[in-house]
Amino acid sequence: MTTHTPVGRPLRPTGKFLQEDSRRHHRSLLLQQLFREGPASRADLSRSSGLTRVTVSDLVKAMLAEGLVAELGAPAESRVGKPPTLLGLSVDSTHVIGIDLSATDRFTGAVLNLAGEVQARHEVSLDGAVGTAAVALVHTLATDLMAMTERPVLGVGVGSPGVVDETGTVIDAPNLSWSGMPLAASLAETLGVPVFVANDANTAVLGEHTFGESGDGGLLVLRVGTGVGAGLVLGGSLLHGHLGAAGEIGHVVVDTEGERCACSRVGCLETVLAVPRLRRRLEERGADAAQVLAQVGEQLGIALAPVVGMLNLHEIVLSGPTELLDGPLRDAADRTIRARTMPVSSEGLLIRTSTLGEDVVIVGAAVLVLAGELGVS
């Protein structure tokens, strides 16, 4: 039974604690410790969590029975007296399904273990499907992925374009013609497992924060695909905003004389930076590709500079096709942000592409499930 040590970085817990959730909360504390720090003894878990040894022993017994944790034996170093038995998270005991709906031409997904490691992949071609036809493709993809593992499935996570509420309903996704689409509820009914749906940029920032190489400061992940959106983790917490629409930077107007956007406005950042629009401009300009990318990078920097100045971010991660985002575009955005903010605001700011590559949304979708079902993320 495979374990992973350590697995990832958790988000700070938010929200009110209810007494009836005490056992689940205490279980989450232990799982977070094993997830973040790796193997530990029962005594270690008691000290780090503040729980009594009796409570820890009871919870560990239940988790061993579930297969979520495994006994690894005594530590290598010798001690006087009976050595403690180390416990570790069994990352292959159960699997998670992660789905990414942000690409322009396909829906992709994967089966992952509890360490965020991909075990199997699958995708379906979009072929221009929107509305209920696109929903049917999501159901097909999820069903196929469920059949690709023999392990119990903890749940399904989905990163979707657009504004998504806390119930997993897609409030508005113009590029897919979804409005008030109860995606999580319909998938849960079909699949028979818990389903969590969130904005694709928010899932991307969860993936980068938990399994990527982000630092401890403010993190913004800019997701560039069919649309453009941002996810932010500040002080260890995901920023949702009023009505869950934080990060909708793709619909900030950057060119009042520009093209019409799917949201009906003119000149949104999405009209110049979204992958289909950007590729089209590059095809039209041919040899001027570097100049086009630099111009778009400057427009992106203009949009992001107030965000950096306001939040004093530590990292901006660009997530999408690296051949478009890395190089002239990223360099121009970096220069523009620094030119438009105080040195203290951008000092130490790192602008880079995602270490998780195109898997960032899929991995982040798995984090949605880990947070919702195990209390770790």
At 375, which amino acid appears? G
Q: What is the pLDDT of residues 306-336, one digit of tens each?
A: 999 999 999 999 998 999 999 999 999 999 9
Distance CA 206, CA 200 (A): 10
What average pLDDT does the chain have? 87
Please state the φ and ψ torsions of residue 233, each to the nearest 5 degrees. -115, 120
pLDDT for res 21? 63
Q: What is the pLDDT of residues 252-281, one digit of tens each?
A: 999 888 899 888 889 999 999 999 999 999
- Sheet containing 219-224: give its strands across: 237-238, 228-234, 219-224, 315-319, 350-353
pLDDT > 60? residue 78: no
Asked if residue 108 lies in contact with residue 84, where contact means CB atoms within 8 angstroms, the answer is no
Those residues with Cβ within 8 angstroms of residue 50's Cβ, 6 or more apart along the chain or in another chain: none
